[in-house]
């Protein structure tokens, strides 16, 4: 298989680094909360309600609403306006990085994470995997599970295809952590403004989208 035929894999890995960056940025600067997903946020709605913290409930419900709107936008925008979410999603990520840089450090934690809730929901729904594998670029739980299952299947049946599948998920996790490591050092140096350091990762991810689209156009127009 040629390197160019792996272009969707390279695109996938580039967005995984973006996801890792935003995950650690949120964790380090906003009280350990990972805004890429909704599990903790949904639990906090329940816990805040039990504790009678209705302002907390409201802020977490707002985060849920932002996440849902981001997800739904990936359906509405292409259908209503013909927008290509593969191109729009990196732009949303970039806008998120810029907005985060100007939010005050003393701002309430959950509203300060609304840009990440939105951007990551758009990214996840716009890019669902590559190489025939369903895989998230914004968190690692299922990627870890799938890598483990693929390894187990290879050990049981000696299926070489399972090794390649395992490698796909392992590299996704590794690239996620490359972005996470970059966020750690960026936050150490620039604190809130560190979000701007996500821009090179986002630019590279956008470039990979362009390369992938070009590859598919050339492949489709090639004579049989």
- pLDDT tens, residue by residue, 75-117: 999 999 999 999 999 999 999 999 999 999 999 999 999 999 9
Residue 224 lies in a domain: no
Q: Which residues pair with 59 in a beta bridge?
A: none
Mean pLDDT of the chain: 95
- The CATH number given to whatever domain includes residue 120 is 1.20.1250
User: Per the structure, how many domains does the chain have?
Assistant: 1
On the question of pLDDT at 224 being above 60, the answer is no
Residue 97 lies in a domain: yes
Look up the pTM and report it.
0.95
DSSP codes joined into one string, 131-142:
TTEE--SS--HH
**223 versus 122: which is more confidently predicted?**
122
pLDDT average, residue stretch 28-57:
96
Report pLDDT for 208. Answer: 97
CA gap 73, 23 in Å, rounded: 21
Residue 83 lies in a domain: yes
Residue 65 lies in a domain: yes
Report pLDDT for 1. Answer: 44
Q: Give the structural domain span for 166.
A: 7-213
Residue 2 lies in a domain: no
């Amino acid at each position: 298989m040629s390197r160019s035929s792996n272009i969707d894999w390279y695109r996938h890995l580039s967005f995984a680094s973006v996801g890792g960056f935003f995950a650690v940025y949120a964790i380090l600067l906003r009280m350990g909360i990972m805004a890429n997903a909704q599990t903790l946020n949904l639990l906090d709605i329940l816990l805040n309600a039990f504790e009678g913290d209705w302002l907390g409930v409201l802020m977490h419900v707002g985060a849920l609403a932002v996440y849902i709107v981001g997800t739904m936008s990936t359906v509405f925008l292409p259908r209503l306006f013909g927008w290509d979410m593969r191109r729009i999603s990196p732009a949303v990520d970039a806008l998120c990085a810029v907005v985060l840089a100007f939010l005050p450090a003393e701002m309430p934690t959950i509203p300060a994470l609304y840009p990440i809730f939105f951007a990551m929901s758009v990214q996840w729904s716009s890019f669902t995997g590559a190489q025939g594998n369903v895989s998230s670029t914004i968190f690692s739980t299922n990627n870890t599970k799938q890598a483990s299952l693929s390894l187990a299947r290879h050990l049981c049946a000696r299926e070489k295809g399972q090794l390649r599948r395992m490698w796909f998920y392992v590299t996704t996790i590794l690239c996620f952590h490359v972005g996470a490591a970059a966020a750690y050092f960026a936050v150490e140096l620039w604190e809130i403004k560190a979000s701007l350091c996500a821009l090179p990762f986002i630019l590279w991810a956008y470039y990979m989208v362009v390369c992938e689209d070009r590859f598919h156009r050339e492949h489709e127009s090639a004579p049989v």
